[in-house]
Structure 1
């Protein structure tokens, strides 16, 4: 079962993208709300048991900022870090961006997945 104490939220420099974390028998999935962030401006790394997401949401037409009536969206750099449980298979981590949502799939190692055990009748 997923224990959220195993995850350590990192400090953000400019803003913090929202993250949903989901776990099932196959693995853990992290979904980040990165609307307005170009996939090329996102770096996902796994090192020493820690998954780190870094990136930047840039303000379009920054040179004409004085023409804005209101700026409510957060811009700038961000960093999120999560300490992963040892059950994650680091070699099979995948990241995919679609419609402003970055999905990071963290499959479980085969030995960590639940398995059915047949009961024999004597």
Structure 2
């Protein structure tokens, strides 16, 4: 008996990838929380450091001018749009997997976040939003002074 390695046909692999993408989109918590007008949901990482919170958003192909960041009532909002690439006359896509259009993400920030100190920068298709923490009051001991007897 010969052992033959089974290989998926390319069409079957593509179909399986489409099904996987559908399930990922359906069960993606970011997509569930995205406003209705969003056409895609960028992936993000949210990290807490000793003195700040950091949000990293994957936004390749999105121009800095197309990104709007707002802070309102403890909610940080990231909106923008990735434009459709131009298609020349007589050209057509044989595959179009990258998402284009509007996106919108919102993040409820803790009370310790300092909304006035938020800064954003971008490099290599990654948006970094730095949210400093408010200075916390340090506990101090208060001595009770007894009234002096005369």
TM range (shorter): 0.7 to 0.9
Provide the rounded CA distance (Å) in 1 between the counterparts of 2:107 and 2:113: 12
Structure 2 residue aligned with 1:11: 34
SS in 2 for 1:111: coil
Matched, 1:96 2:121: yes
- Report which of the two has the higher share of helix: 2
- Number of equivalent positions: 107
TM-score by length of 2: 0.65
CA RMSD of aligned residues (A): 2.2
Q: CA deviation digits over 1:42-73, x for unaligned, max 9?
A: 00000111000000011111465951110000
Structure 1 residue aligned with 2:133: 108
Provide the rounded CA distance (Å) in 2 between the counterparts of 1:37 and 1:104: 15
1:11: how far off?
Answer: 0.8
SS in 2 for 1:110: coil
CA shift in 2, pair 1:63/1:51, >3 Å: farther
Provide the rounded CA distance (Å) in 2 between the counterparts of 1:15 and 1:65: 28
Most deviating of 28-37 and 64-73: 64-73
TM-score by length of 1: 0.80
Structure 2 residue aligned with 1:82: 107
Which of these two proteins has the greater Rg computed from alpha carbons?
A: 2
Provide the rounded CA distance (Å) in 2 between the counterparts of 1:43 and 1:101: 14
Instruction: Give 5+ residue unaligned stretches, structure 2.
Output: 1-28, 141-150
